[in-house]
Amino acid sequence: MSIAGVRTGRRDHLLGAALCVGYIALLVATAGDIGMSRDESMYVRAADQYARWLQLLVDEPSAALQRGNIDRYWKANREHPPLAKLMFAAGHLYDAHVSASDTPSLAYRAGGMLCAGLLLWLIYVFGAQLYGRGAGLMAALLYALLPRPFYHAHLTCFDVPITLAIVFCVYAYYRSLLRQRWLAMLGLAFGLALATKHNSWVLPGIFLIHFAWVHVMQVRTGHDAAARVGRNPRFLWVMLLAGPPILLALWPWVWNDTAARLGWYIAFHMKHDYYNMAYLGQNHFWPPFPVSFPWVMTWMTVPLTTLALALIGVGIEGRQMLDRLRSRTPAADPRQPAVLLLGCMLAPLVMISLPSTPIFGGTKHWMTGYPFLCIFGGLAFMSAVDWARPRLAAAASVLRGPVLPVAAGAVLLLPSALETAHSHPFGLSHYGVGAGGVPGSADLGMNRQFWGFTTRSVTDYLAEHAPPGARIYICDTTGGAFRMLQRDGWLPDHLRPTGHIGNADFALVHHEHHFAEVDHQIWSTYGSVRPVHVLTYDGVPIVSVYRNPRIKR
Q: Which of residues 116-155 bind another protein (CB under 8 A)?
A: none
Nearer to another protein, 330 or 502 (CB): 502
With residues binned 3-state (H G I as helix, E B as strand, rest as coil), the percentages for the chain, rounded to 5, are: 65, 5, 30
In the complex with another protein, the residue whose CB is nearer, 89 or 475, is 475
Question: Taking CB under 8 A as the criterion, which residues in 432-471 touch another protein?
Answer: 432-433, 436-440, 442-443
Nearer to another protein, 221 or 521 (CB): 521
Q: According to CB under 8 A, which residues from 51 to 110 bind another protein?
A: none
Q: How far is the CB of 531 from another protein (least distance, A)?
A: 5
Among 551, 553, 533, residue whose Cα is nearest residue 543: 533
Q: Which amino acid is at 466?
A: A
Taken in order 230, 235, 236, 241, is the CA torsion positive or negative? positive
Burial of 142 by CB count in 10 Å (0-12 exposed, 13-18 middle, 19+ buried)? buried
Give least dist CB 534 to another protein, A.
4
Q: Judged by CB under 8 A, which of 418, 463, 465, 489 binds another protein?
A: 418
> Does residue 376 interact with another protein by CB under 8 A?
no
- Min CB(303)–another protein separation in Å: 7
Residue 513 touches another protein, criterion: CB under 8 A: yes
- Name which of residues 309 to 368 contact another protein (CB under 8 A): 309, 312
DSSP tally for the chain: helices H, then strands E: 22, 7
State the sign of the Cα–Cα–Cα–Cα dihedral 476, 480, 483, 487: negative
SS3 label, residue 553: coil
516 near another protein (CB under 8 A)? yes
Q: Are 280 and 445 in contact (CB under 8 A)?
A: yes
With respect to another protein, which residue has the nearer C-beta, 333 or 538? 538
Q: Scanning residues 261 to 280, which ones bind another protein (CB under 8 A)? A: none
Binders of another protein among residues 377 to 396 (CB under 8 A) are 380-381, 383-385, 387-388, 390-392
Q: Please tell me the distance from the alpha carbon of residue 407 to that of residue 420, in angstroms, as a whole number.
A: 20
> Which span (121-129, 244-252, 337-345, 527-535) binds another protein, by CB under 8 A?
527-535
d(CA 192, CA 170): 13
How many residues at the interface with another protein, by CB under 8 A? 72
Q: Determine which residue in the list 285, 295, 299, 461 makes contact with another protein, applying CB under 8 A.
A: 285
Which window, 112-120, 135-143, 481-489, 498-506, contacts another protein (CB under 8 A)? 498-506
Give the Cα separation of 429 and 542 in Å (integer): 8
Tell me how far, at minimum, the Cβ of 499 lies from another protein, in Å.
Answer: 6
* Closest distance to another protein from the beta carbon of 475 (Å): 7
Give strand pairing partners of 537.
Answer: 540
DSSP for 157-170, written as a single string: SSHHHHHHHHHHHH
Which bin fits 7, alpha (ψ -120 to 50), beta or left (φ > 0)?
beta
